[in-house]
């Protein structure tokens, strides 16, 4: 019949239940079936359906229920996306109509998940949209949601890449120390100039490439800061602060690496100043 409902040897109806169907612990659910949903295999006569209150399913209390209740006040941020047609219609609305549309969308989501509407907020429930065609999300305002996009929670880019980034920073600092020691031991201005150029290019080139990517893909999020001609390091700090304030849902690897390389450029300035001062002291 389809991927969610099949007949087994003509005697059994097998229905695939998606994960979001029984989404509450310690609750009762009713299974209903319309008359004529199935027919007698021999006489081809319609079979009576199942009405409310006859077939009752109860979900057990989860072992982690107490812990889950303790964390109910924790905020979970995520992003949803409208379909192309719905996006065009939304952008054509006035600001007041946009606010009204979002409120209607949140109210419908609250009713269909279900969840208390006071727990849903917007700053401008995954299986429902992945299987939108077989759930109540296929009607009303929620039908404007893009089921292929689903519900995406922001990933912690730093936690995912902190080991590699920390190793890279450590290697760079070690090279800074080694080049400085080599310059001091050789007492050669040429070696000092070459080593300094290598270390600077090792930051300038990736920083420049990352800046281009950032301007092309993220400049709309920090447009205000570009107009003020604020240094790159300050822009990145402001951009990261936008994430903490809930105005951004994603913090990708590009702005993270750009922040790291910008910090290392400042580190290089301080390191060169300190190392030259130490060298003068040792010479004396």
Confidence of residue 67 (pLDDT cuts 50, 70, 90): very low
Say if 66 falls within a structural domain. no
- Residue that finishes a domain, picked among 94, 122, 144: 144
Say if 17 falls within a structural domain. yes
Residues 163 and 269 in one domain: yes
Residues 34 and 105 in one domain: no
Residue 123 vs residue 264, higher pLDDT: 264
Across 57-64, average pLDDT:
70
Which residues partner with 8 through β-bridges? 12
**What is the tens place of the pLDDT at every residue in 163-208?**
999 999 999 999 888 888 888 788 778 888 888 888 888 888 988 8
Residues 181 and 234 in one domain: yes
**What is the tens place of the pLDDT at every residue in 69-95?**
445 556 666 777 788 888 888 888 888
Say if 118 falls within a structural domain. yes
Residues 179 and 219 in one domain: yes
Residues 54 and 119 in one domain: no
**What is the tens place of the pLDDT at every residue in 155-165?**
777 788 889 99
Residues 84 and 118 in one domain: yes
Which residues partner with 56 through β-bridges? 30
Residues 168 and 276 in one domain: yes
pLDDT at 130 over 60: no
- Residue that finishes a domain, picked among 113, 144, 175: 144
Residue 216 vs residue 163, higher pLDDT: 163
Residues 92 and 177 in one domain: no
Say if 64 falls within a structural domain. no
Residues 165 and 245 in one domain: yes
> How many folded domains does the chain comprise?
3
- Residue that finishes a domain, picked among 94, 123, 144: 144
Say if 65 falls within a structural domain. no
Say if 102 falls within a structural domain. yes
Say if 226 falls within a structural domain. yes
Q: Phi/psi at 57 (nearest 5 deg)?
A: -115, 135
Residues 114 and 215 in one domain: no
Residues 49 and 102 in one domain: no
- Whole-number Cα distances in Å, 62 to 24, 27, 67, 116, 119: 10, 11, 10, 20, 22
Say if 149 falls within a structural domain. no
Q: Report the predicted TM-score, pTM, of the whole model to 2 decimal places.
A: 0.53
Residues 189 and 239 in one domain: yes
Query: Structural domain of residue 120, as residue ranges?
Result: 75-144
């Amino acid at each position: 019949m389809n991927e969610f409902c099949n007949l087994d040897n003509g005697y059994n109806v097998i229905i695939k239940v998606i994960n979001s169907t029984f989404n509450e612990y310690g609750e009762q659910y009713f299974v209903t079936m319309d008359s004529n949903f199935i027919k007698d295999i021999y006489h081809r006569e319609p079979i009576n359906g199942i009405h409310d209150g006859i077939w009752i399913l109860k979900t057990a209390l989860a072992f982690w229920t107490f812990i889950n209740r303790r964390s109910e006040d924790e905020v979970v941020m995520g992003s949803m996306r409208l379909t192309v047609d719905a996006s065009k219609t939304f952008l054509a609305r006035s600001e007041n109509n946009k606010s009204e549309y979002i409120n209607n969308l949140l109210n419908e989501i609250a009713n269909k998940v279900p969840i208390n509407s006071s727990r849903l907020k917007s700053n401008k429930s995954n299986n429902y949209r992945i299987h939108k065609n077989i759930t109540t999300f296929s009607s009303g305002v929620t039908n404007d949601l893009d089921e292929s996009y689903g519900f995406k929670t922001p990933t912690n880019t730093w936690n995912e890449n902190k080991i590699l980034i920390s190793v890279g920073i450590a290697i760079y600092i070690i090279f800074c120390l080694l080049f400085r020691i080599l310059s001091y031991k050789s007492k050669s201005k040429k070696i000092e100039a070459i080593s300094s150029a290598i270390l600077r290019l090792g930051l300038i080139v990736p920083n420049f490439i990352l800046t281009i990517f950032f301007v092309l893909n993220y400049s709309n999020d920090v447009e205000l800061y570009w107009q003020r001609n604020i240094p790159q390091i300050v822009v990145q700090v402001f951009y990261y602060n936008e994430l903490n304030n809930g105005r951004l849902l994603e913090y990708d690897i590009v702005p993270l690496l750009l922040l790291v390389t910008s910090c290392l450029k400042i580190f290089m300035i301080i390191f060169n100043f300190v190392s030259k001062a130490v060298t003068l002291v040792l010479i004396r």
